[in-house]
Amino acid sequence: MVSVAVKNLSYEVNGVHILNDISFTHSSGLLMIIGPNGAGKTTLLRALAGLVKFRGSVELDGVRPEEYRRYISYVPAQPSLDLMARGLDVALAMNYRPPDGLWRERFLEVLGRFGLGGLANRPVISMSSGEQRLLLLAAALSRDPRLLILDEPTAFLDVTNRTKVIELLQELAGDGVSVVVATHDIEYTAVADNVAVLKSGRLVSFGPPREALSEELLSDVYGISIRRVDRNTPSYMPELLLKRFSK
């Protein structure tokens, strides 16, 4: 497991504070980062991956992200892909090292889990948005990362593949990979080991879902009424949906 320690992390652009004095420690498992659009989720992921300059500190097993980069796989929410590249080319580019054969095996294994082994030889332009998302996840895992950082990994996916992705992330966390995910799918936070809640660039709550989340907190963060689905699980939905189904 990779220990992630963030202390007094701040980031601004042209005088606008994107992240404000964020501190937390995530020692193991699956961390989900939630919050409304513009809360700073993507910038926080980029800081963890060592892709932006910031004030404060980020340490991964005691070292800076730049020194740990070979062990990190990062998939942005809006990647830029060569539309004529094959799936296999995308995975090779993400490995950016002489191929040893193992990455290819792992890549095909993950694609096969989603029934998408054929993507390896198809050009990106022929793939749906959901297929591209799964292709990138498989490519990221082909590097055998110690820290997996994903921005909206379930975007564009149907309910079957969303569920498969979450199950895969749980398995990875159980096998010792530290997984950090930014997501708008708040219902999936129930399976996380820790949840970080951002609002306007500030960390307003952090910890296990049962401790970090509440109806009052989420309603304030998102500006709408959000209710707990039931007493037994820390899963939440907009009250509008619960009202609809309770009639």
| Predicted local confidence at residue 247, as pLDDT | 53
Pairing of strands 236-238, 226-228: antiparallel
Q: 30-34 and 16-26 as β-strands: parallel, antiparallel, unpaired?
A: unpaired
Tell me what percent of the residues of the chain surpass a pLDDT of 90. 83
Map tokens 């050009």 to a residue: 123
Overall average pLDDT of the 165-173 stretch: 96
Confidence bin at 246 (pLDDT 50/70/90): low
> Right CATH number for 4-213 from 3.30.460.80, 3.40.50.300, 3.40.50.720, 1.20.1740.10?
3.40.50.300
pLDDT score for 57: 96
pLDDT the model gives residue 43? 97
Q: Percentage of residues in the chain with pLDDT exceeding 70?
A: 96
Whether residue 145 contacts residue 72, with contact meaning beta carbons closer than 8 Å, is answered with yes
Residue 100's pLDDT band, with cuts at 50, 70 and 90, is: low
Query: pLDDT for 67-99, tens place per residue?
Result: 999 999 999 998 889 999 999 999 998 887 655
Q: What is the dihedral of CA 177, 44, 151, 36, to 10 degrees?
A: 130
Transcribe 17-44 into DSSP letters: EEEEEEEEEE-SSEEEEE-STTSSHHHH
- Give the model's pLDDT for residue 245: 57
pTM of the model: 0.94
CA distance 199 to 38: 8
Residue 224 carries which DSSP code? Answer: S
26-78 pLDDT tens trace? 998 999 999 999 999 999 999 999 999 999 999 999 999 999 999 999 999 98
Structural domain spans, the chain: 4-213, 214-247
